Structure 1
Amino acid sequence: MNANFFKKALFILGTALFFTACSNDDDNAISGPSIQLLEVGTNNSLQAFAGADLHLEAEIEAAANIDKIEVEIHSETTGGWELNKIFTEGYSGAKNATFHEHIDIPADVAPGDYHLHIKVTDKNGNSKEAESKLAIVLKNPAAALVFTPVTGTGVEGHGDHFHGLAAEVLGTPITVTFDENGNAISGGHLHLNPTAIYKIALKTYDNKGAETQNKYIADAATATNYKAFLVGGSFVLNAATANGTGAIFQPREATYADGTTGSTTATTSTGVTTYLTIGTDNKGEKDVTFVMRKVNTGVKTTITRADWNRADYATAFAGSNELELKFEIHAE
């Protein structure tokens, strides 16, 4: 009797294991990838600008692990621009991933209505696709920041400012452009060398594309009303470090727009031209805003070189913001 009981127990156990295994096999067989499209264009605007980059974000799950992610863009009309691109780095082999990429849109792309497809394929060959409409438009920038690397004998950061800028040698510029709301149109994910020094030129434009930034420094009297800040990012300031490994942001115009000089001192300079180094203490990604602030009478002379990144700048220095340009710095 004990033997029969033992045999029956083994039979029941084996049957249970068999059906469990079959159930697991069935689950694996039907468990393909899933994709949830979160963002097409900044703030999910479903819009991109020719000559800029298209922001894409999606959440992906794949029980059998991701093999590849394909992005396809094609025009809804004949003769438009087309893109086919495969992404594997940082995604292949993962079960779950946030797909976050920026697709460069060539400047000569024909504007119009386009269609976007994002397809994820897992290691078993199963695939899932998400799609969205996309408008590509032409747009003139309202403002720009031009970052040009600076080298030269004696050019270096010291405390809260730079030495040797008169001997500067300029490299290849990098431009970030902005719309009328201060959102980056192109170059908004700015990659900078944390140890390099950059000369930043502010550009603003009227509706005909003419530069207008000299309105902030038309002459010495006008400039007393304006001061630039670079806020956000929680920077470690260079003056607070022992080895000069922090950030410096120094507004420094050599002349006013009327040709007179004297605007390079700490409290008189405005910031249409500035110099920046990030510093190794600030490696990583930082969300920042370049601010041109119109300050009340007598306020500008109280703003020191240590105040450029203050979180409370708006309450500390009474006035109103004329310009807020939002972008990311990737210091690497």
Structure 2
Amino acid sequence: MKKTNIYLFLFLLLGIFGTLSSCSKDDDEIPVGKPVINLSEVGLENSRTAVAGSDLHLEGDILAEGLIAKIDIEIHQEGGGEYKIEKSWTEGKYIGVKNTTFHEHLDIPADAPAGEYHLHFAVTDQLGNTATVESELTIESADVPVAYQLQFTESAGYAHGNHFHDLADKEGAETITVSFDAQGSAIIGGHLHLDPHGIYKVELKQFDDAGNEVQGKYIESEDVAKYYKAFLIGGDFILNSTTEDESGAIFQPRETKYGDGTDVTGASGTGTTGTIFYFTVGHANEGEKDVTYVLRKFSSASIKPTITREQWNLTDYATKFAGEDVIKLSFEIHAEEGHDH
């Protein structure tokens, strides 16, 4: 009887080991797929355009079951050119993880020849699996004419509700300039770093073909200015007036004189246009924001007085306020503690 029990025990034990071995073998045979890459932006707002001497915005999601080991980027000329830009990541926040959002600004050397390029974005996991996605890319010459600028200078003052108090120039404050081409794409400084607590005086500059400033044409007189108003669209901002601790965003147009020398009037700032404005991101809006400065010309002079200080960030501004956008300047705001440039 004892011998029979021993045989039975050994038989069961062998069966268990066989099952475990089979399961282990099955597990080993389950393949780990290649990384999956969703490259959502090549260039600001996925423009697939960069400027020599500036940087290229790249963003996308990566999923790698085998954990990311390396990310390689290669940009090479089309049409037989030999110019090439290469960049790799083998350590840091993207490495050794299963999924991540890749967000970088790749330097484009000033000597990069203008023209058509091809971008390869490759991810290799720790098992050796590699996936690559590709994109067309245009690199523009560094001497692309500047058509517009937004100049940000930190100012003194404090936020209250939907506006500022005690605004004044800040001694020694540095001016940060974002430059745009004629299509409104940022060509210099388009990844703007601002202190979320800072209050910035922002001035619009527009240049003609000879390089002369012409933005004054929008506020040359009250009769002209009543057709124009600026907005800052995008970013999904939490407005300061909706917070209890004054931690939100404020956009306040603030010209004081028209071009003919007369005073800007209008209750609660409705007479102002926004070729000069004051802006704060606010602690509640820290992070990255894709925004567009818009100067809109209204179809009727009766529209501008109806626009309140709360309506500068409306997604449906074009529907609410009939007219046309005469300027649209797109750029990024990176609002991070300790960054102001």
Q: TM-score range by the shorter chain?
A: 0.7 to 0.9
For the residue of structure 2 that corresponds to 1:164, the secondary structure is strand
- State how 1:182-331 maps to structure 2 within 5 Å: 182-206=184-208, 209-258=211-260, 260-263=261-264, 266-295=269-298, 296-331=300-335
Residues in 2 aligned to 1:47 and 1:315: alpha-carbon distance in whole angstroms? 30
Q: Is the 8 A contact 1:75 1:82 kept in 2?
A: no
Indicate the residue corresponding to 1:112 in structure 2.
Answer: 115
From 10, 13, 22, the counterpart of 2:13? 10
Residues in 2 aligned to 1:281 and 1:225: alpha-carbon distance in whole angstroms? 33
Q: Which moved more, 1:104-113 or 1:196-205?
A: 104-113
Assess, with a 3 A threshold, how the Cα gap between structure 1 residues 216 and 130 changes in structure 2: closer, same or farther.
same
Query: Would you say 1:148 and 2:148 are equivalent positions?
Result: no
Q: Is the 8 A contact 1:32 1:127 kept in 2?
A: no
Residues in 1 aligned to 2:90 and 2:182: alpha-carbon distance in whole angstroms? 33
Residues in 1 aligned to 2:65 and 2:209: alpha-carbon distance in whole angstroms? 52
Once the two structures are TM-superposed, the CA of residue 223 in structure 1 deviates from its matched residue by 1.3
Residues in 2 aligned to 1:273 and 1:79: alpha-carbon distance in whole angstroms? 45
Q: Is the 8 A contact 2:43 2:49 kept in 1?
A: yes
Q: Is the 8 A contact 1:81 1:110 kept in 2?
A: no
For the residue of structure 1 that corresponds to 2:24, the secondary structure is helix
Q: How does the TM-score come out when normalised to structure 1?
A: 0.81
Q: Is the 8 A contact 1:116 1:133 kept in 2?
A: yes
Q: Is the 8 A contact 1:251 1:264 kept in 2?
A: no
Once the two structures are TM-superposed, the CA of residue 93 in structure 1 deviates from its matched residue by 1.9
Residues in 1 aligned to 2:15 and 2:168: alpha-carbon distance in whole angstroms? 88
Once the two structures are TM-superposed, the CA of residue 112 in structure 1 deviates from its matched residue by 2.9
Indicate the residue corresponding to 1:97 in structure 2.
Answer: 100
Identity of aligned residues (%): 48
Indicate the residue corresponding to 1:20 in structure 2.
Answer: 23
Residues in 2 aligned to 1:316 and 1:5: alpha-carbon distance in whole angstroms? 84
Once the two structures are TM-superposed, the CA of residue 58 in structure 1 deviates from its matched residue by 4.3
Indicate the residue corresponding to 2:339 in structure 1.
Answer: none
Residues in 2 aligned to 1:313 and 1:11: alpha-carbon distance in whole angstroms? 75
Assess, with a 3 A threshold, how the Cα gap between structure 1 residues 44 and 304 changes in structure 2: closer, same or farther.
closer
Counterpart residue type for residue 213 of structure 2: E
For the residue of structure 1 that corresponds to 2:270, the secondary structure is coil
Q: How does the TM-score come out when normalised to structure 2?
A: 0.79
Q: Is the 8 A contact 1:148 1:170 kept in 2?
A: no
Q: Is the 8 A contact 1:114 1:135 kept in 2?
A: yes
Indicate the residue corresponding to 2:74 in structure 1.
Answer: 72
Q: Is the 8 A contact 1:250 1:276 kept in 2?
A: yes
Residues 47-93 of structure 1, C-alpha deviation per residue, up to 9 Å, x if partnerless?
32224432324443333322332323344666735333426332122
Residues in 2 aligned to 1:61 and 1:235: alpha-carbon distance in whole angstroms? 29
Indicate the residue corresponding to 1:122 in structure 2.
Answer: 125
Tell me how many residue pairs correspond in the alignment. 326
Counterpart residue type for residue 55 of structure 1: H
Residues 244-297 of structure 1, C-alpha deviation per residue, up to 9 Å, x if partnerless?
323221112243334x14127612221111111122233333343322122212
Which runs of no fewer than 5 residues in structure 1 stay unpaired? none
Q: Is the 8 A contact 2:44 2:331 kept in 1?
A: no
Q: Is the 8 A contact 2:58 2:104 kept in 1?
A: yes
